[in-house]
Amino acid sequence: MSKTYLTTANGAPVADDDTSISAGERGSLTFDNVHLFEKLAHFNRERIPERVVHARGYGAYGTFTLNKDLSDYTIADFLQGAGKKTDVFLRFSTVAGGQDSGDYVRDVRGFALRFYTEQGNYDIVGNNTPVFFIRDPAKFPDFIHSQKKDPKTNLPDPAHHFEFWANHPQSMHQITILMSDRGIPRSLRHTNGYGSHTLSLWNKDGERFWVKWHFKTNQGIETLTNDEAAKQPGDGMQRDLVEAIERDDFPSWSVKIQVMTDEQAKQCEFNPFDLTKVWPHKEFPLKDIGTLELNRNVGNYFAETEQVAFAPSNLVPGVGVSPDKVLQGRLFAYADAHRHRLGVNYQQIPVNKPVCPVHHYQRDGVMAGASGCPVTGHLQNADVNFYPNDRSDAPVPAPQLGEPSMPLENDAWLKAYDSSDEDNYSQAGNLYRIMSEGQKQQLVSNIVDGLSQATESVQSRMVEHFTRCDEDYGQRIEALLLK
Ligand code: NDP
Ligand code: HEM
C-alpha cells in the first residue's frame, strides 16, 4: 500500500515534522522554516469567538417524522403528509457558562433544532423551558451580565442573579422553573424542549395560526438535586448523549403543537405573545404531530457543533414569527452574531448549508466558496450578479410564496412600550400550586441557597414577589431565610 505523506496546507510534502531548521547545534532558527511558521501560525488561530451565551453545547443529527398532515395550517413542505421525514440537527447547551464550564449546573438548557427542509433551513431556537426571564429584548444584555461571572473577580455571584430578578418581577415564572427540580436534568435525553415563543404557521389560503412547539421527552423527565449534581463529572451530559447514540439507543421526543387562531388571540385574557407566559393546556390542548429522534453523532465537533449557526430568522415558506417583542429582537441578534463569529459566508459551511439549491445575487466576502467547491459549497457561480436582469435562466422572486400580511392594532402608537407590570405572578403561582410537597421543598431550598447571599433589600423584595405568586411560596422562603 502506498504511504500517505504529510503535506503543508499548500499540498507540498513535508520532509521533517519534528525538528526546526537551525544554524547549527547551538544556533538560532532561520526564515526558511516555512513549515514550522505555518504550523505555529495556524495553531495561533484555532480559536474563534465562543458564543456570547450558550457557549457550551452538544450537537447531534437526527430525523423528524411527521405523523399528521398539517396542510390545513401550513404550506411548509416538511409539514405535508403523514410519514414525511426531515433531517435535523439539534444542539443542546447551557446558557451562562463558557465552553469549558460544567454540564451539571442549575441553568436553562438550550434546545436549538434545525430542520433541513426542501425549501431551506427552518430553525426553532428554543430552550428546555416553555417561558423566559424577560419580555423585552432591551433587558437581555443586562440579564445575561447578571448571570455571568463578576467582572472584577471573575467568580460566580448568585447575589447578582437575585439583584436583577428583584428589579424584574417578570422573571418570576422562569425563576420558579429554574429553581425547581427541573433546573438540573439528569441528562439531555431526559428533558423536554420548547419553542417557547409564539411562532406561526400559514396556509395556502393566506390564513395564519399562532403556534407553540413542545418536544416531550420519551425517556421521561429525570432530574438531579444539587447534591447529586455536585458528584457528577464535568462532561457527563455530553458523554451520556454521545454514548447513547453510539450504542443505537436513540433518544426521541414526541413533537406537539398548541394552536391559537387570530380570533382567539384577540379574545385571550393575557397577551399570547408574552414570552413569560404559557398557554394553558386545557384551553389550548397539545396536538401530537410527530417524533424527533437523534441518531447520528457529529463527525467533527468544531466543524459541526461549534460552527452551526442557528437563527430564529431562518424561516421557510409556511412558517413565520409573531409580534413577541423578544423574538423580534432575536431576529436581529443571531445572524449578526454569526457574521461576527464565523464570517459573512457562514451559510456555506456544510452544517449550515441548506439541502436545497441556493440561488441569490450575494457575492464575495471572506471565504466565499465558488460553485461546486467541496469545502464551502455551492454558491457564487460566475453567472449574472445583479437583479433584475434580462437572462431567462437567472433567479427571480417567488411572490406566490410571500407571507400573508400582518395586521396592526387599530390605534397603535409608536412609543417605548412599558410591559414590565403585565401580570408577573399568576402563572408562576399556578406552577407552584401544581408541585408536590417534595418539589416545593426542593424549590424553596434551591432559591434560598442563592438568595441568602443577596443584600437584605434584595431578599425582602424577592420575598414580596414570591408572596405575590403564592402566599405559601413567599412564607416558606421568608421562614428559611430567617433560619
Ligand atoms: P397543566 O397541569 O395542564 O400542565 C402542567 C405542566 O407543567 C405540564 O406540562 C408539566 O410537564 C409541567 N411541569 C410540571 N412541573 C414542572 C416544573 N417543575 N417545571 C416546568 N414544568 C413543569 O397546567 P397548565 O397548562 O394550566 O399550566 C400550569 C403551569 O404549568 C403553568 O403556569 C406553567 O408554569 C407550567 N407549564 C405549562 C405548560 C403549558 O404549555 N401549558 C408547559 C410547561 C409547564 P410534564 O407534563 O412534561 O410533566
Ligand atoms: C444563542 C442572543 C433570547 C435560546 C444566542 C446567541 C446570541 C443570542 C447572540 C449566540 C449565537 C451564536 O453565536 O451562534 C439572544 C438575544 C435574546 C435571546 C439577544 C433576547 C433578546 C433567547 C431565548 C431563547 C434563546 C428567549 C429560547 C427561548 C438560545 C439558544 C442558543 C442561543 C438555544 C444557542 C444556539 C446554539 O445552540 O447554537 N442567543 N438570545 N435565546 N439562544 Fe439566545
pLDDT in tens, 254-267: 999 999 999 999 99
Nearest ligand to the CA of 51 is: 2
158 pLDDT exceeds 60? yes
Bridge partners for 108 per DSSP: none
Is the Cβ atom of 335 under 6 angstroms away from ligand 1? no
CA of 297 to the centre of ligand 1 (A): 31
Q: Whole-structure pTM over 0.90, yes or no?
A: yes
Which of 214, 278, 440, 443 maximizes ligand 1 atoms within 8 Å of its Cβ, making it the mutation to test the pocket?
278
The whole-number average pLDDT for the span 404-425 is 90
The mean pLDDT value of the chain amounts to 95
CB 184 within 8 A of CB 102: no
Radius of gyration of the CA atoms of the chain, in A: 25
Percent of the chain's residues with pLDDT above 90: 90
Strand partners, 89: 61, 114
Question: Which residues form ligand 2's pocket by a CB distance below 6 Å?
Answer: 51-54, 57, 91, 93, 110, 112, 125-127, 132, 137, 140, 196, 308-310, 326, 329-330, 333-334, 337-338, 341
Beta bridge partners of 92: 58, 111
Distance 462 CA to ligand 2 centre (A): 27
Whether the CB of 180 sits within 6 Å of ligand 1: yes
Judge whether 194 and 74 are in contact, CB under 8 Å. no
Residue whose CB lies within 8 A of the most ligand 1 atoms, among 111, 431, 442, 469, for a mutation test: 431
Q: Give the residue, by CA position, lying nearest to ligand 1 atom 42.
A: 130
Annotated catalytic residues are: 54, 127
pLDDT of residue 132: 98
Q: Does the pLDDT of residue 374 top 70, yes or no?
A: no
Q: How many CB atoms lie within 10 A of CB 71?
A: 13
Q: Is 459 exposed, middle or buried (0-12, 13-18, 19+ CB in 10 A)?
A: buried
What pLDDT sits at residue 380? 59
CB 422 within 8 A of CB 135: yes
Report yes or no: 145 and 156 within 8 Å, Cβ to Cβ: no
Q: How confident is the model at residue 317 (pLDDT cuts 50, 70, 90)?
A: very high
Mean pLDDT of 60-86: 98
Kindly tell me if the per-residue pLDDT of 448 is higher than 70. Answer: yes
Confidence bin at 376 (pLDDT 50/70/90): very low
Residue 106 CB neighbours (<10 A)? 18
- Per-residue pLDDT tens digits for 187-229: 999 999 999 999 999 999 999 999 999 999 999 999 999 999 9
Confidence of residue 369 (pLDDT cuts 50, 70, 90): confident
Evaluated on CA atoms 186, 189, 191, 194, the torsion sign reads: positive
Measured in angstroms, how far is the CA atom of residue 431 from the centroid of ligand 1? 7
Give the model's pLDDT for residue 363.
86
> In angstroms, what is the span from residue 189 Cα to ligand 1's centroid?
19
Q: Quick: pLDDT tens for 220-267.
A: 999 999 999 999 999 999 999 999 999 999 999 999 999 999 999 999
d(CA 82, CA 78): 10
| Structure-block grid coordinates of residue 84 | 414525511
Is the pLDDT at 67 greater than 60? The verdict is yes
Span 139-151, pLDDT tens digits: 999 999 999 999 9
How far apart, in whole angstroms, are the C-alpha atoms of residue 366 and residue 379? 13
Pair 334, 285: CB distance under 8 Å: no
% of the chain at pLDDT higher than 70: 97
Ligand 1 center from residue 280 Cα (angstroms): 8
Verify whether ligand 1 is closer than 6 Å to residue 177 (CB atom). Answer: yes
Whether the predicted pLDDT of 390 surpasses 80: yes
ipTM field: 0.97
Question: 445575561: which residue's cell?
Answer: 144
Burial class from Cβ neighbours inside 10 Å (0-12, 13-18, 19+) for residue 287 reads middle
pLDDT value, residue 383: 76
Q: What's the confidence (pLDDT) of residue 368?
A: 83
Q: DSSP assignment of 441-455, as one string?
A: HHHHHHHHHHHTTS-
- CA–CA separation, 90 and 295 (whole Å): 11
Closest CA to 191 of 275, 140, 126: 126
Q: Is ligand 1 within 6 A of the CB of residue 257?
A: no
Q: Are 97 and 167 in contact (CB under 8 A)?
A: no
What distance in angstroms lies between residue 376's CA and the mean position of ligand 1's atoms? 43
pLDDT over 60 at 372, yes or no = no
Contact 105, 90 (CB under 8 A): no
For the CA of 327, the nearest ligand: 2
User: Which pLDDT score, from 0 to 100, does residue 367 have?
Assistant: 86
Tell which residue, 9, 72, 69, has the closest CA to residue 39. 9
Q: How high is the pLDDT of residue 381?
A: 62
Q: What is the pLDDT of residue 375?
A: 47
Q: Is 430 in the pocket of ligand 1 (CB under 6 A)?
A: yes
Tell me, using a 6 A CB cutoff, whether residue 280 lines ligand 1: yes
| Residue 377 pLDDT greater than 90, yes or no | no
Task: Write the burial class of residue 286 (CB in 10 Å: 0-12 exposed, 13-18 middle, 19+ buried).
Answer: middle
pLDDT at 480 > cutoff 50: yes
